[in-house]
Amino acid sequence: MIHLALPYAVAAALIGIGTYGVLARRNAVLVLIGIELMLAGAGLLLITAGAVGGDRWHGGNILTLFVITIAAAEVVLALAVIVAVFRRRDSIDISVTSAAPAHPEGHV
Amino acid sequence: MTSLDITFLATGAVTIAAALLAVTTRQLVHSALWLVLSLGGLAGCYLVLGAELVALVQVLVYVGAVVVLVIFALMLTRAPIGPSAEHSTSRLHRALAAVLGAGVSALLLAVLLPLAGREAVARTPVDSSALAGDLFGTWVWPFEAISLLLLSALIGAFSVSRLAGGQTGGPS
């Protein structure tokens, strides 16, 4: 027996914390960490729904597995892009606009 | 409070505390390590909710692979060791972000808490063999589509890094 309010509160808190992480960080890798936390909150919601609903096709669990897999694919691509941007601009600061030169030391 | 409630409270508290530290710490590498703890705590939450297979996959894929990739990316982008302020935004920006994050949480809570009800409900632990049967029965086509997605992500990551490598040093 479990009260559902607790998992729901944890999921909502995780999504809020992830939103803060996406908005408050300038390093692109740290923004990605915020996105991971948001996805984690979504997965917790799915698992909670699956744990009590008892749906016939185990949708809650299997969709969480799919979300985890898609998140892994997304992280691979995002990190490849981040490393490519770093090679080109020597910085992954997302507050520097694309008009800035390749060496932003004089501008930051 | 049932015993499951207390266990979930413990794992959920670990998850949320580690997540908060991951988004607020001033040290880049610590952020990735707090993410490990947060996602590990989330695997504990999954266990408490009766989803053993998903908890194991969470540990394998997230803690084992995704965080390692994140740490590699931090190393490849020459993340500074020790506290640094240059990846953090201004105080006003952070306050606005905190307000927005709290607003998102409050909105979700306002929607979800009425759904939860006041009574404790029985959880139904998921049998792993039944889950596997469904995964390769009902859900087999989405499963195959996801394997294609992983392949295309692999090829995409290769081509993105090759493209950037070929153009390094050229005029932008």
Residues of chain A in contact with residue B121, where contact means CB-CB under 8 angstroms, are 1-4, 52
Q: Please judge whether B120 and A2 are an interchain contact, meaning their C-beta atoms are less than 8 angstroms apart.
A: yes
Nearest 5°: the CA angle A68, A71, A74 is 160
- For CA atoms B83, B85, B91, B96, give the dihedral sign: negative
Average pLDDT score over residue span A41-62:
87
Residues of chain A in contact with residue B65, where contact means CB-CB under 8 angstroms, are 72
Q: Please judge whether B168 and A30 are an interchain contact, meaning their C-beta atoms are less than 8 angstroms apart.
A: no
The beta-carbon neighbor of B100 closest among A10, A23, A81 is A23
Q: What are residue A49's DSSP bridge partners?
A: none
Q: Please judge whether A30 and B87 are an interchain contact, meaning their C-beta atoms are less than 8 angstroms apart.
A: yes
Nearest 5°: the CA angle B139, B142, B144 is 105
For A:13-72, CB contacts with B below 8 A are 13-21, 23-27, 29-30, 32-34, 36-37, 40, 43-45, 47-48, 50-52, 54, 57-58, 60-62, 64-66, 68-72
pLDDT tens, per residue, chain B with 172 residues: 788 899 999 999 999 999 999 999 888 889 999 999 999 999 999 999 988 999 999 999 988 888 999 999 988 888 777 777 666 778 888 999 999 999 999 999 999 988 887 777 888 778 888 889 999 999 999 999 999 999 999 999 999 988 766 555 444 4
Residues of chain B in contact with residue A107, where contact means CB-CB under 8 angstroms, are none
- When scoring B155, B158, B160, B162 by the number of chain A Cβ atoms within 10 A, the one with the most, hence best to mutate, is B160
* Interchain contact A98–B (C-beta under 8 A): no
Residues of chain A in contact with residue B45, where contact means CB-CB under 8 angstroms, are 7, 10, 44, 47
Dist. CA B19–CA B136, nearest whole Å: 34
pTM for this predicted structure: 0.88
Dist. CA A72–CA B153, nearest whole Å: 9
Dist. CA A8–CA A42, nearest whole Å: 10
Question: What confidence score (pLDDT) does residue A52 get?
Answer: 81
Structure ipTM: 0.88
Give the least confident one: A5-9, A27-31, A100-104, B160-164.
A100-104
